[in-house]
Amino acid sequence: MSDSTWHAVLVAVLVTLVAVGLLPAVGGVYQYLLVPVHGFRNHLRRAGPYLPRVAVVVPAWNEGAVLEASLERLMRLQYPPDRLRVFVVDDASTDDTPDVVRAKAAEHPGRIVLLRREQGGQGKAHTLNHGIAHLLSDDWMQALLIMDADVIYRPDALRRMTRHLADERVGAVTAYIREGSRRPGAIARFIGYEYVTAQACARRAQNVMGAIACLAGGAQLHTRANLEAVGGRIDTSTLAEDTFTTFLTQLDGRSVVFDGQAVVLAEEPDSVRALWKQRVRWARGNVQITHRFRRVWFRPARGHRLGAVDFGLVWFSVFALPFTLIAASVGLVGLYFAAPGTAAAVFGELWWFGIATYVFITVTTLLVDLETARRSWFEGLMFPGVGALVLVVASAHPEFWLVTVPGLVGLRMSATGTEVWTLLLYCWPVLSMALSRVVHDLEGVPVLGHLSKPLLYVVGYGPLLCAITLDAYVRQWRGTAQVWDKTEKTGKVAA
């Protein structure tokens, strides 16, 4: 093969790598195009007034600071009192959790029950199974609600969820977990915006597709029949027990429904380090799920939609995102050295796709949840980071940063400076993930720690999540000890 042929093949491979980097954005746009479709293609027409006997299981380990408010709000739900019982499973807490539960049980006799495990520390799934075994020992329960100790259900949330169980084909229902801290900091505001994208928007699109990726851990409503069909217990072999149950339900031919009008407020981490710890666990769980259900992907089946091509595209758009960003950077840098003209042309042609995707997704997200938009609109605009926005402008108007901006301060960009700037832009997807680790390490450091939050806005919350996901994949590959670390909560939800 001649040198020119090898060169052409190399260029084609590098362009393909750049194209691979666009796949997650394609998956995201596809989901968002389905969001308005949900307005007329949803499960509400099959729902109806239905108030089964609901047993609520609340796993609790050292949750004294948050339990009182959560239990009190459960007692105030717009739901028949004689059809709702709450079972708090105390995972051998060392704080005042048992005392808080006993006090609330005395206020509401027969409606709140304390179940205590003498041996704790095995994780959420084991704690849940202790409570589920107790509930399945008699026939009172018709539906099971799994929730977290810190979440606050809006008064009508449970009633909105149970209406879907009027359809016997539905095995489980999940609600919209909204970040609800009274005075959210920067991280909590980013999470608030993220939850609109990952739940309020993505789950609506998945309703349309007919396959739900995950029942929210703090709001899982199961029929008794579904619970028994999946084995009468929660899987303990993965870090994503909620996703595991979601897949089993659908593989058995029962539907899972997301109700965006059933709102549950939650306190989320407000530090990068706490977020990192939480999301590493989530991402490792997703690796385990992806492997466990490897024979499902892209294999359409009659009884479920998990094997559909569009659902697989959506799942792997998120799962492979760190690798596709790396591929795009490698492709552009390689083109810069192998075919500079092609690199510039490809980079220049991407701007319209980047800006159109950014505007479409951001505007749609802010419109879907106006309450969160009022709190997190700036974080929504800054979600990809200042660096990514600079990159989009540079791809559309390369002379702006190379000529116009330096000219404003009387400078002229040298040839070397132009090369360094160009390579910096091409490398930014990878560089932003590397800088995310710096954001993490700076947090809490005396004096320098104040730079962590401003740097986060430059790097972007999206690249931060990619960096966390990549870290999780490395840990999973290396076989790092699998630990279920709970996120510390302080009771800041605006009940």
**pLDDT tens figures, 1-50:** 676 788 889 999 999 999 998 888 899 999 999 999 999 999 999 999 99
**pLDDT tens figures, 228-275:** 999 999 998 899 999 999 999 999 999 999 999 999 999 888 899 999
Higher pLDDT among residues 442 and 62, named by residue: 442
Tell me which fold the domain 44-144 belongs to.
Spore Coat Polysaccharide Biosynthesis Protein SpsA; Chain A (3.90.550)
> What's the chain's Rg over C-alpha atoms?
24
**pLDDT tens figures, 110-150:** 999 999 887 766 788 889 999 999 999 999 999 999 999 88
- The pLDDT value recorded for residue 309 is 96
| DSSP at 447 | T
Instruction: Report residue 469's pLDDT band, with 50, 70 and 90 as the boundaries.
Output: very high
Which residues lie below 8 Å from residue 136, measured CB to CB, with a gap of 6+?
224, 227, 228, 232
Distance CA 493, CA 60 (A): 17
- The pLDDT value recorded for residue 172 is 98
- The pLDDT value recorded for residue 495 is 55
- The pLDDT value recorded for residue 490 is 57
Delimit the CATH 3.90.550.10 region(s) of the chain.
Answer: 44-144
- The pLDDT value recorded for residue 486 is 59
For 62-84, b where at least 16 C-beta lie within 10 A, e where not — what string? bbbbbbbebbebbeebebeeeeb
Tell how strand 152-153 and strand 255-266 pair up.
antiparallel
- The pLDDT value recorded for residue 118 is 77
- The pLDDT value recorded for residue 485 is 60
Which residues lie below 8 Å from residue 374, measured CB to CB, with a gap of 6+?
none
Distance CA 304, CA 297 (A): 12
Task: Give the torsion sign (CA, 242, 248, 250, 254).
Answer: negative
Burial of 302 (0-12, 13-18, 19+ CB in 10 A): exposed
Cα-based distances in Å from 416 to 53, 129, 413, 421, 431: 72, 63, 8, 9, 20
Instruction: Report residue 354's pLDDT band, with 50, 70 and 90 as the boundaries.
Output: confident
% of the chain exceeding 90 in pLDDT: 70
Mean pLDDT of the chain, nearest integer: 91
- The pLDDT value recorded for residue 483 is 62
- The pLDDT value recorded for residue 484 is 55
Mean pLDDT along residues 446-458: 92
